[in-house]
Amino acid sequence: MSSPVLEIRDLRVVFTGPRRSLRGGRTVVQAVAGVDLDVRAKETLALVGESGSGKSTVARCVLGLVRPQAGTVTYEGRALGPVDKRPAEVQRAIQMVFQDPGSSLNPRMTVGAIIREAWKVHPAVAPEGDRRQALADVLADVGLDAGVAGRRPSALSGGQRQRVSIARALALRPRLLVCDEAVSALDVSVQSQILRLLVDLRRTHDLSVLFITHDLAVVRQIADRVAVMRTGELVECATAEQLFTAPAHPYTRGLLSAAHDLEGTRAGFEHTREQIR
Amino acid sequence: ACSSSDDPASETGDSVAAGGDLTVAGPIPIENLDPHGPASMDAGTQLAARAIFSQLVVSTGSGEFEGELAESWEPNADASEWTFTLREGVEFSDGTPVTAADVVASFERVLAGEGPLAGNFGGYTVAAPDESTVVFTSAAPDAAFLGKISSFFVTPQAAAEAGFFQEPIGSGPFVVESFEPGATLRLTPNAGYWDGEPALDSLEFQSIPEVAARMTALQTGEVDVTWSMPDDQIAALKSDSDLTVETVPSPGVLTMWMNGSTPALQDPAVRRALWQAVDFEAIIASLYPETGTPADSPISPAVLGYAPQEPVEYDPEAAKAALDAAGFDYGTVIRWQFSQANFRNFVDAVVSDLADIGVTVEPQEKEQAVFLEDLLALNWDMNLQQLGSQGYDAATNLGRLYTCEANRMGYCNEDLDRILAEAGSTSDTAQREELYAQAIEIIWNDGVGMYPMFVEQPYAWRSGVEGFEPVSDGVPYFDEVTVSGD
Amino acid sequence: MTQSDILLTEAAPGPAAPPGPRRRRRPLSAIPYVIIGIYVLAAAIGPFLIDYDPVATEVTERLLPPGSATGSGTAWLGTDAVGRDVLAQVVYGARTSFIIGISVVALCGLIGVALGAIAGYSGGLSDAVISRTVDILMAFPGILLAIVIAGLLERGMNVVIIALSVGGWVGFARLSRSITMSTRERDWVDAARIMGLSKSATLTRHIVPFLTGSVVALATIELASAVLSEAALSFLGLGLPPHIVSWGQAIAGGREHLGTAWWITVFPGIALTVLVICIGLVGDRLTRRFTRQRD
Amino acid sequence: MTDQHSATVVAPAAGDPAPAPGAPLLRVEDLEVVLPSGATTGTVIDKVSFAVDAGRTTGLIGESGSGKTMSAMSIVGLLPPEAVTSGRVTWRSEDLLTAAPRRLRQVRGREIGVIFQDPLAALNPIQTVGRQIGEILRRGGMARQQVRVRVLELLDRVGIPDPDQRIDVYPHELSGGMRQRVMIAMALAGEPQLIIADEPTTALDVTTQARILRLLADLREQEHLALLLVSHDLRVMAHVADDVVVMYAGRVAERGPAREVLERPRHPYTRALANNVPAVSTRSAIAEPLQGAPANPFERPAGCAFHPRCPLAQDRCRTEVPVLREVEPGRFSACHRAEEVLP
Amino acid sequence: MSYFVIKRLAIGLLTIWGVVTAVFVVVRLAPGDQATVALGPDATPAELEALRSSLGLDRPLPLQYLSYLGDVVRLDFGESYRFGRPAMDQVIERFPATVQLTLAATAMAIVFGLILGVVAGKKPGSALDRAVSTVALGLQALPPFWVGIMFILIFALQLQVLPSAGGGSLANLVLPAVTLSIPFTALVARMTRSGVAETMSEAFVLTARSKGLTETQVLTGHVVKNSLIPVVTVVGLQVGTLLGGAVIIETVFAWPGLGSLLVGAVGNRDYAVVQAATVLIGLCVIVLNLAADIVNAKLDPRIRLEARR
Ligand SMILES: Nc1ncnc2c1ncn2[C@@H]1O[C@H](COP(=O)(O)OP(=O)(O)OP(=O)(O)O)[C@@H](O)[C@H]1O
Ligand SMILES: Nc1ncnc2c1ncn2[C@@H]1O[C@H](COP(=O)(O)OP(=O)(O)OP(=O)(O)O)[C@@H](O)[C@H]1O
Ligand SMILES: [Mg+2]
Ligand SMILES: [Mg+2]
Ligand code: NI
């Protein structure tokens, strides 16, 4: 097995709320309570769990947007601090795709400006001269034509915005892509487009992906390994096959059965699918 | 206890029937009742003091005085020692008699005090050889002492105690019923007043700073008496048949000193030329039709020492010629400071006339405290004030302000100094008048300042008010007033 | 400062909603712009058309009612207490009022936005310091500052501008701070940070642009209130020196003649009120536009 | 979970106050909603027809912006004020579109209850949940004490533990699932015959989703309710709906019994949707996605709105708007080539 | 809650200290001092010096500041030289008049402002809304002193229905309170309008309608209270500002309040009164803001008191 790109050890994050009374102490949310996680080279690791279980917080720690109370995040053997303290090369190597395509792009900037901004910070990635070509390339990578470069996010559909979001991340040639609910806000028909794009990109760009979602069905489609979180703790971590066929932890079993429950007329869908092929 | 020399008994008998509640709104709020303290020279404090306390003497016009607590007084030969004999049987409103010791204590309070009155009595000591005699001794001769002491009020010795002026005891015609500093002062008659109990049932002083409101209050009858109205309001008041409007000559003179230490204004010829360049007659006729008359002296006719001079005629051509001849630099900007907003129109008009002959004057309206500081620091080229003469005596104006030592307007003339010193050290009135006439001639001809206008004091009262007598210094008395019909 | 709260209620940028249906243009909606245009024109070129020397007075022609003939023509709007033409004062006053209003707003806006954005973005100590300063200024009677500043400096336009600005930036700071705090949470800001953009670049490129809408809207309101405050200062005798013509001066100067010579105050007053209403209407519209269709 | 499936085939309960046997409780016919947008107006809902039978569940399905919410809300007249409607909404035997506002207010809550998508936004944040649930009863003149008893009953009915305590809390103090239960209790308070549920589970976790859906199914059965369920989630639909209406860009694409429509779609759009649903139970490859983005009703393509994305599109589809037609008994499809969707 | 109050009071104390310091610096920066004003135009330099040293004004500023701070801590604001009595006494004496005026104006502003705001905000963009908004703007644009004097001329002089000036009675209160409340009413109306308009688009309003409530019931039951938070905040702030800022109205109507006292005291360089008045006003502003926050927390259970601004 390939060695881990990213290692998370005993990560702990506590959010302190306001104090209620003088002696009452603060309300404390233990968002992440000791998580150990590895992301290996070129694999897709899915992080699942119900709302509030701390998935996003783990992601934000990886990116250095949240400072953990304890624990380490190591990238290729180097311990990582807050995002603005990281060496440029690490900043470049870890990128993120957000959930809401409507809010992850600065609405005042054109698509071209959004992507070029990345190169302003890391000029080495795309030398001054061939940025135009580089821009066209990266847009092509995510299936957009060069014409959208002049448009603002508001003039794009949700799926297109999410592609721009991915292009912005890819522009820096990252090694690790963190996707926090990257497809949850999209329409069903568009969701498959983006998932497929992600799967393709991972192959062509040799990416490792940390894929956060609460949709087990999606996980089943794309993940190599799955980590299940619950109230800040990791309850189970296994290969996708193992997890879906023989879940070890009762909580995982509960999640799976709820998902099954919703599957309803599963047979109907299968039937349809067969017909199409 | 003002100027009236009528039989007090008949006054009293007459007024008991009339009585009434009088409401008075002066232009200045009454903030403090202490006639010895920092606010002692405030018009508001003086107004209240005249109702609550008694003076030794009251000045009734140029060089004339009337005894109030003092029955008689006598200066020594060089006017450096003044002996007062107190009236018998005068009591404070709490029944204790007014004694020489009270006078001494009051005077010492003034000297120790931190107010503007103290400056008048530098080098004075006071003593009470017996119950009813008080002797004031000065280091230097002081012929104008009577004028100065007329702003002095006698309080009980208890005045030194904290809180006394919340409910003061005095020997004046009224006693304090309630006092909201800066807002209202309510008074009731002093039954034991030596000159007869005032006829009014009550007297209330209100503060209404905004002119429009004050005029309205008078017209609607919320207020019975007011004074110091701007000229533009007087016409409207005159047309109201319920009101009596009267103006009386006052000691006030509009005074525009020119700073003799400013290079551009050093030359008397320049100063005179500037004076000539302003059509004061037209300005006064338009802006002050009611209360202004063109002046012919730096002090008013109501003041001892007044001597009329040749008026300075408006002649812009001559003025320009004189300025050219004196080599006046038209590039200079003359900074003209003043502090009262009601001078604005006047200032604008004068500036306009001077601009017509090419002289640039920059009006500087300053806040009172800033104005005062700059005034003393001679931080101005031209200054505008309405100057009075305390006690109707030129000594308190000319004698104090125009000496080289005082250096109040950058002007120094040894001849003038000598004349003023001489006038200050004799108690012979005729001689003093003669000396002041000389002084005035020098001041006038040297153009130490422009003296455009004598100011009259306007009063207005409602028709029910009887026995009100306007006084020239704008601080009236109310002990003989009655009001009816409201 | 309280004006900013109107904006605060609407200001926090909501999720970039699909651009809602745009309101149809009403022909009337152009009126405020037209009127403001007329004012600006009057302020800019009026002085070249109407000859007026604020220093020159004509005391014999004082307090003439509108339409009176004077030595130098007809006083269409009457004359003031020293015989100056009221119409000319209205026209010349426009320039002063604009200069004061715009300077105050520019000064307050720059300071307020800078401090508010820094406080909102950095949090921590700088936020605490700026917030406490704002608290103190809000608990401090503004009139006192104005008086002291007017006393400290030689009377003039710059004093009025400074006196009005000292407390005026607080509103901008509060507004900017609260919008910054909510914009800071937006994903595109995180995205910028992730790619390693510096703090100052993040602030200027990804946050400050989102302040402009509300800040411009607040600025229009503050512009109106600055013009009004200048009048109030004049009333207290702390306003402009006499040789600078302004509406505030004119209104304050005519108050003793309200009963007899109403035209001195009423015409500049109308000029001021109409301008304030128009600026306010434009401000309202900008507020609405920038808060609803934030994209 | 076959037990759940059985709920979908329960027959209308006897004694249900349905107007005429066989006649649907609610019939929407040729509904059109026109909304102004900028200088133009858009026909957001274009000739939509469907029905809800007493005691049954009709599902409205489609992607975001396809007009599900608009169709549902026009039934009770809760559209934006600038919306212009036409067509007929027959509730029992009266037309609600032309009904007097007063009558419409009587219908709302008491005859037709509504459950909204985002329970946090749809609950008044500054009133206790008890107050909000009881409001309709209080306005109906019920005594305060009785209202409280009834609200407690309702809370219990929707499965909120410790109703005694929960009755006095504010919405933000509850979890998402609890809030949705409160919404449901509120909709039940007026004892309606029909409940319109607009995406009742979208904002919730998988586990909670399942529980809420089960609750709705139970209620429908026990309270003899009809249910109009709006959702974009095919799995949800398949789980609870008896009939489904598939919408695309403001028009009905396909309509028919849920099971049949989802198993044997007669419209390429439905087929694509069904195709794109991933499964937990088996590992499936990512299906070939539909190209392009959903059509916007304001800029609806000419002809069949779906044609730009349709693998079966022909020239005819680009010009001619397909009408909704019965392609086999009980099955309606608005595709020119409906017969070819299934070979 | 108690912790919140304590924390806010601590911040309040800090703010008061800031105000105290600022006022000290500011009044001493101003040219001219107590001695200049007290002694008037006839003072000699020697007299000025003597008075300054007896008042302690010649000591180095830091020393003066420390002793002043010490006095303030002991709640001793010194003696007013103008009024010849403890400065705080004078300030407290004027306080009730100010409170009366402010409360009356605030009450009017709230009542009329709320009504106007609700009427306008209930149908945003309607003719009524635009009319009310324009009127509100117009009201905000009226110079208060102009309004005040016009009121005097109309109601006192022409109609003779109300007294023109002075304090004390209820009749005296009417004109100044109305004048003061005009711009405030406009502000409350505008705030309420925007709050109501925004609340009208909230989802829970739709919920309320779906229960069959009439528009009035929806408005009173679900909209108005929910849109009050910014209004309360502004009222809290504005009332504080009014306390010290009503100078012009107090001057016009001769209303014996704190504003005119403060302005007079600044003019006379009566440091003690300036400082006492400023501290009292600052205290009120702080307390009112606290009160507004508490009211808001009562209005909206979601507001956890600490999470302010
Ligand atoms: N900035 C913050 N301040 C305080 N608490 C926070 C903050 N961010 C997250 N939390 C809390 O931390 C916990 C974990 O949140 P997190 O966003 O990581 O969950 P999640 O698994 O991503 O949930 P979701 O599926 O809803 O996105 C939650 O209880 C949340 O309320
Ligand atoms: N208030 C409104 N004003 C104008 N257009 C609106 C309004 N609300 C919705 N629309 C438009 O009407 C169309 C149908 O909207 P509707 O809310 O019915 O869609 P939906 O199917 O419910 O979508 P979702 O799944 O996102 O809820 C959309 O194009 C939408 O943009
Ligand atoms: Mg998350
Ligand atoms: Mg919807
Ligand atoms: Ni099953």
Tell me the pLDDT tens digit for each residue of A156-201: 888 888 889 999 998 888 999 999 988 887 777 788 888 888 898 8
- Lowest-pLDDT range, B393-397, D31-35, D223-227? B393-397
Range of the domain at C263: 34-43+75-293
Residue A22 has pLDDT above 70, yes or no: no
pLDDT digits (tens, 9 = 90+) for E63-97: 889 988 888 888 888 888 888 888 888 888 888 88
pLDDT digits (tens, 9 = 90+) for B36-62: 888 888 888 889 999 999 989 988 877
Distance (Å) of CA B357 to CA B74, B322, D184, E51: 54, 11, 90, 45
What is the Cα–Cα distance from A106 to C186, expressed in whole angstroms?
9
The rounded mean pLDDT for chain B is: 85
Q: D139–E206: do the CB atoms touch at under 8 Å?
A: no
The token pair that represents B297 in the structure block: 């002296």
Q: C21–D38: do the CB atoms touch at under 8 Å?
A: yes
**C138: exposed, middle or buried (Cβ count in 10 Å: 0-12, 13-18, 19+):** buried
> Cα angle at B323 between B322 and B328, to 5 degrees?
150
Query: pLDDT category, D19, cuts 50, 70, 90?
Result: very low
Q: What is the CA radius of gyration of chain B?
A: 23
What dotted CATH number matches A4-98+175-276? 3.40.50.300
Which run of H or of E encompasses D107?
helix D101-110
Q: Which domains does chain E have, with CATH numbers?
A: 1-88 (no CATH), 93-307 (1.10.3720.10)
Mean pLDDT along residues D231-241 = 82
Closest atom, ligand 2, to C-alpha of D33:
12
Residues of chain B with C-beta less than 8 angstroms from the C-beta of E42: 116, 119-120, 400-401
Cα of E177 vs centre of ligand 1, distance in Å, is 51
Mean pLDDT along residues C112-128 = 90
Residue A277 has pLDDT above 50, yes or no: no
Q: Supply the pLDDT for residue D166.
A: 87
The rounded mean pLDDT for chain C is: 79
Q: Which residue has the tokens 């030194």?
A: B160
Listed by start position, the domains of chain D span 3-241, 268-343
C and A make contact (3+ CB pairs below 8 Å): yes
Identify the CA nearest to E292 among candidates E276, E305, E307. Answer: E305
What is the Cα–Cα distance from B436 to B454, expressed in whole angstroms?
18
C-chain residue closest to B356, CA distance? C56
Closest atom, ligand 1, to C-alpha of A16:
4
Mean pLDDT along residues D210-232 = 85
* A151 part of contact set with chain D, CB < 8 Å: no
DSSP, collapsed to helix, strand or coil, labels residue B53 as coil
pLDDT digits (tens, 9 = 90+) for D309-333: 888 888 888 888 998 999 889 899 9
- Overall domain count for chain C: 1
Chains touching B, CB cut-off 8 Å, 3+ pairs = C, E
pLDDT digits (tens, 9 = 90+) for A109-136: 999 999 999 898 888 887 777 888 889 9
Q: Supply the pLDDT for residue D8.
A: 36
Q: Supply the pLDDT for residue E45.
A: 79
C-chain residue closest to E239, CA distance? C2
Please answer whether residues A230 and A49 qualify as being in contact, where contact means their C-beta atoms are separated by less than 8 angstroms: yes
Q: Supply the pLDDT for residue B12.
A: 41
Q: Supply the pLDDT for residue C59.
A: 72
Residues of chain E with C-beta less than 8 angstroms from the C-beta of C222: none
Q: D35–C22: do the CB atoms touch at under 8 Å?
A: no
**Residues 200-229 in E contacting C (C-alpha not used; CB under 8 Å):** none
Residue C83 inside a domain? The answer is yes
Q: Supply the pLDDT for residue C20.
A: 41
Residue D145 has pLDDT above 80, yes or no: yes
Mean pLDDT along residues D296-301 = 82
Q: Supply the pLDDT for residue A23.
A: 54
Query: pLDDT category, B2, cuts 50, 70, 90?
Result: very low
Q: Supply the pLDDT for residue E178.
A: 92
Residue B377 has pLDDT above 70, yes or no: yes
Residue C214 inside a domain? The answer is yes
Interface test with A, best of E1, E3, E306 (most A CBs within 10 A): E3
pLDDT digits (tens, 9 = 90+) for E6-37: 777 888 888 888 988 988 888 887 777 888 88
Q: Supply the pLDDT for residue C27.
A: 62
Residues paired with residue A210 on neighbouring β-strands, in sequence order: A45, A178
Please answer whether residues C131 and C119 qualify as being in contact, where contact means their C-beta atoms are separated by less than 8 angstroms: yes
Q: Report, in this order, helix, strand and coil percent for chain A, each rounded to 5.
A: 45, 25, 30
* D37 part of contact set with chain C, CB < 8 Å: yes
Q: A264–D276: do the CB atoms touch at under 8 Å?
A: no
What is the Cα–Cα distance from D79 to D69, expressed in whole angstroms?
9
The rounded mean pLDDT for chain D is: 84
Nearest CB neighbour to B212, from listed C60, C243, C258: C258
Residue B94 has pLDDT above 90, yes or no: no
Mean pLDDT along residues B260-271 = 88
pLDDT digits (tens, 9 = 90+) for D146-166: 999 999 999 998 888 888 888
**B354: exposed, middle or buried (Cβ count in 10 Å: 0-12, 13-18, 19+):** buried
Mean pLDDT along residues D196-221 = 83
The domain spanning residue C173 has which CATH number?
A: 1.10.3720.10
What is the Cα–Cα distance from D276 to D298, expressed in whole angstroms?
26
Q: E94–B372: do the CB atoms touch at under 8 Å?
A: no
Phi-psi domain of E75 (left: phi exceeds 0; alpha: psi -120 through 50; beta: other)? left
Q: Supply the pLDDT for residue A258.
A: 77
- Lowest-pLDDT range, A65-79, C63-77, E283-297? C63-77
Residue C293 has pLDDT above 50, yes or no: no
pTM given for the model: 0.84
Distance (Å) of CA D162 to CA B75, B317, C87, D134, E138: 103, 103, 76, 17, 55
Instruction: Say which DSSP state D286 is in.
Output: P
Using a pLDDT cut of 90, give the percent of chain D over it: 29
> What's the residue count for chain C?
295
A126 min Cα distance to partner chain D (Å): 30
Residue B231 has pLDDT above 90, yes or no: no
Listed by start position, the domains of chain A span 4-98+175-276
Residue B480 has pLDDT above 90, yes or no: no
What is the Cα–Cα distance from A141 to B278, expressed in whole angstroms?
87
Closest atom, ligand 1, to C-alpha of A17:
4
Q: Supply the pLDDT for residue D113.
A: 92
Question: For ligand 1, atom 14, which residue shows the shortest CA distance?
Answer: A54
What is the Cα–Cα distance from C88 to A83, expressed in whole angstroms?
62
What is the Cα–Cα distance from D250 to B112, expressed in whole angstroms?
95
**In one letter, which amino acid is E80?**
S
Question: For ligand 2, atom 22, which residue shows the shortest CA distance?
Answer: D69
The more confident residue out of B117 and D129 is D129
Query: pLDDT category, C4, cuts 50, 70, 90?
Result: low
What dotted CATH number matches D3-241? 3.40.50.300
